[in-house]
Chains A and B, each alone.
Chain A
Amino acid sequence: MATAEYKHSILWRGEDPTKTRFKPAYDGSKKVTRYRRGQAPEWAEEGKKVQKRQEKPEEDLRKAKRRRQAAAVVLEADSASSRLARLQRSETGEERKGETGTERLLRHRQIEEAVILEAEPKDEADVTEEKKEVLKEELDLDLKPGVAELSFEINEEDEDLEIRQLRREKMREKALSKRKIEEDVLKVELEEEQEEVAEESEYESESEEDDPRRGPLMKPVFVSKANRETVREKEMIEKEEEDARRKKEVRALERKAESKVLLIDKIQEEAEAERLAAEEDDRSDIELLDDDDEKNEAEEYELWKIRELKRIKRDKEERLQRQKEIEFVLKRRQMTDEERAKDDARLDAANPKRADVKQFNFLQKYYHRGGFFQDKAASGEEALYLRDYHEPLEEEKYDKNLLPKAMQLRRGEFGKKGQVKHSHLTDVDTTDMSAAWSQSSKVVQRYQEKMAAAKGVTNFERPSMKNRLQ
């Protein structure tokens, strides 16, 4: 902004904004309520005049802060706000000893009890739950004096060990009492479960066996040695031991025998392995064929004869072939052009070549026959390879120019992923056919010949006087 009214503009004529001290736009009317730990909020104040606070809207922020800090200090000492004070109060509350459990509950927690429209019969469970709650309250009660005592300890620093010990004992007693109360609670729970699990009552009864005051003892009666079970047991044990010993001996003997047998076997195996190893490795994998020459000598001779004759024949044929080739080459060199043409025709007829390239319809799809197995195609073994793959399909036979432009595509392209805009090359040919040089007229041809210094390339007539004169 370049106006003179803007403070930071170069056209500003007032005071230099860099020199003035920044004062935040503080609106003292709004009151910010801060929360601080340990400090009760304002609405929690009881019997405190709130109006006093409301008289500070225009004061400085720092002064208000200081005051609040002072107030906080004051608050801590105030019994109404601090937890410690509350606890102390509860300790000294003598008027509450005659209270019932329900009155205490009401004092501690402002429970929003449901308004009972129809009185329902209370179940046992509810009663036990109430009992539990009562017990727990007792626990809390025990804690409180303990806590109060702790605070006491902190304050008084010069204490004797004896006093401390006394205190510890008291704590222990309290802990014990706590445990008892917890057990009571547990018992209450157990009473609930007694109906479901009957074993727990047994457990309770077993624990009573530890009581030294048992029932009457059995009177000792004399049993002769023969009838004594203990003696019998001893004898049994001895017998078993003997049996075991005997068995062990027997087993040891057996083992010896077995090991002997094993040893013998092993030695035999090793000997065999040595024997085998002495033989060649190659022999072990395959059975060697018999290459004995004494067998079937006559047959062998016959076979040899056949082979030899075949070889001779083969050699002869090779020689002949070679000779023929040489003859043919010589002959062909001596041929005239027409004879050569005839010879070519004859050879072509003799060697059947692939059929001429078929004329494709407009936008007919080209199918490549593949580079493999063409020897089969050439020899004619496999009928599959003799098929003509350039035969047009039904859909390729009719003129595609009748179709709309979008559908003038090769088969298998329209509507599929392989569809491309490119249809055929001449479609994108931008040759200007009307140009003078692209037309194949005589004038153009002559001109081209002249420029290429190819005058008379296609003229095969003999130069005559007629033309020369013109």
Chain B
Amino acid sequence: MANRTDPDADTVHGANPQFLVDRIVRVKIYNDAYWKEYCFGLTTESLIDEAARLDYVAGTYGGRRRPSRFLCLFLKLLQIQPEEAGLRPRLRRDVVMEYIKQPELKYLRALGCAYLRITARYLTIYQTLEPLFADYRKLRYRDMNGKMSIIRMDEFVDWLMREETICDVLWQKLL
């Protein structure tokens, strides 16, 4: 019940937006304690609060591939789809743009970037993400083995633009 995509949500790339995350990873997130406890009933506003408490950027890590909070919030975004359907395209990405534009919370910015990258069209992605190469703030990154490291925001954005798989999510290749 709680894991259904918002019925008002639009399809993304012709499919249910939640399905952009692989089934195995998705099920892992659904069964995660953080998802069940904190991500239930999140709105775009409360999501900001949650994102403020993020510690690192990661996909699934560890021996049993535990999903990270970043990934849980990412799926939550896909689930609630912070754009409003029916509005003109220009206004649609208001919320996500705000996420990206705000300078204080860098993890929220990273989250916004990831969401944009997966849902938006190529032109939007290029136009939005390329200026972010200037942001060289530090981010904590946890790789698949669970090891922590420091990456920079511009590195992260670079990965988003180029790599196929980051944070256990498959990204479509950009032209």
B-binding residues in A (CB < 8 A): 280, 282-283, 285-293, 300-301, 303-304, 307-308, 311
* Ranked 7 nearest A-B pairs via Cβ: A304-B136, A291-B138, A293-B137, A291-B140, A289-B148, A289-B150, A289-B140
- Chain A contacts for B152, CB-based, 8 A: 303-304, 307
Selected contact of A308 from candidates B69, B133, B138, B140, CB within 8 Å: B133
Report yes or no: B133 in contact with A311, Cβ–Cβ below 8 A. yes
Total interface residues on B, using CB and 8 Å?
A: 19
A-binding residues in B (CB < 8 A): 53, 55-56, 68-69, 133, 136-140, 146, 148-150, 152, 154-155, 158
Q: How far is the CA of A171 from the CA of B53 in the complex (A)?
A: 105
Q: How far is the CA of A292 from the CA of B69 in the complex (A)?
A: 20
Report yes or no: B150 in contact with A308, Cβ–Cβ below 8 A. no
Mostly, the B contact residues are: mixed
Selected contact of A286 from candidates B69, B136, B148, CB within 8 Å: B148
Most buried by A among B53, B68, B136, B158: B136
Selected contact of B138 from candidates A282, A293, A301, A311, CB within 8 Å: A293
In whole Å, how far is A277's beta carbon from the nearest beta carbon of chain B? 13
- Chain A contacts for B154, CB-based, 8 A: 304, 307-308
User: Would A303 and B146 be within 8 Å (CB), given that A283-B55, A288-B55 are in contact?
Assistant: no
- Chain A contacts for B140, CB-based, 8 A: 288-289, 291
- Chain A contacts for B68, CB-based, 8 A: 282
Q: How far is the CA of A280 from the CA of B146 in the complex (A)?
A: 16
In whole Å, how far is B94's beta carbon from the nearest beta carbon of chain A? 27
Report yes or no: B136 in contact with A291, Cβ–Cβ below 8 A. no
- Chain B contacts for A293, CB-based, 8 A: 137-138
Q: How far is the CA of A307 from the CA of B151 in the complex (A)?
A: 12
Q: How far is the CA of A308 from the CA of B146 in the complex (A)?
A: 28
Q: How far is the CA of A292 from the CA of B139 in the complex (A)?
A: 9
Further pairs besides A304-B136, A307-B152: 13, Cβ < 8 Å: A282-B55, A282-B69, A287-B148, A288-B55, A289-B140, A289-B148, A291-B137, A291-B139, A292-B138, A293-B138, A300-B138, A304-B154, A311-B158
Report yes or no: B136 in contact with A300, Cβ–Cβ below 8 A. yes
- Chain B contacts for A311, CB-based, 8 A: 133, 158
Report yes or no: A307 in contact with B69, Cβ–Cβ below 8 A. no
Report yes or no: B155 in contact with A307, Cβ–Cβ below 8 A. yes
* A–B Cβ pairs within 8 angstroms, 30 of them: A280-B55, A282-B55, A282-B68, A283-B55, A285-B146, A286-B146, A286-B148, A287-B148, A288-B55, A288-B140, A288-B148, A289-B148, A289-B150, A291-B137, A291-B139, A291-B140, A291-B150, A293-B137, A293-B138, A300-B138, A301-B136, A303-B136, A303-B152, A304-B136, A304-B154, A307-B152, A307-B155, A308-B133, A311-B133, A311-B158
Q: How far is the CA of A287 from the CA of B55 in the complex (A)?
A: 11
Q: How far is the CA of A301 from the CA of B136 in the complex (A)?
A: 8
- Chain A contacts for B148, CB-based, 8 A: 286-289
Q: How far is the CA of A293 from the CA of B153 in the complex (A)?
A: 11
Q: How far is the CA of A285 from the CA of B142 in the complex (A)?
A: 12
When C-beta atoms are compared, the residue in chain A nearest to B155 turns out to be A307
- Chain B contacts for A283, CB-based, 8 A: 55
In whole Å, how far is A266's beta carbon from the nearest beta carbon of chain B? 27
When C-beta atoms are compared, the residue in chain A nearest to B58 turns out to be A282
- Chain B contacts for A301, CB-based, 8 A: 136
Q: How far is the CA of A304 from the CA of B133 in the complex (A)?
A: 9
- Chain B contacts for A304, CB-based, 8 A: 136, 152, 154
Q: How far is the CA of A230 from the CA of B133 in the complex (A)?
A: 103
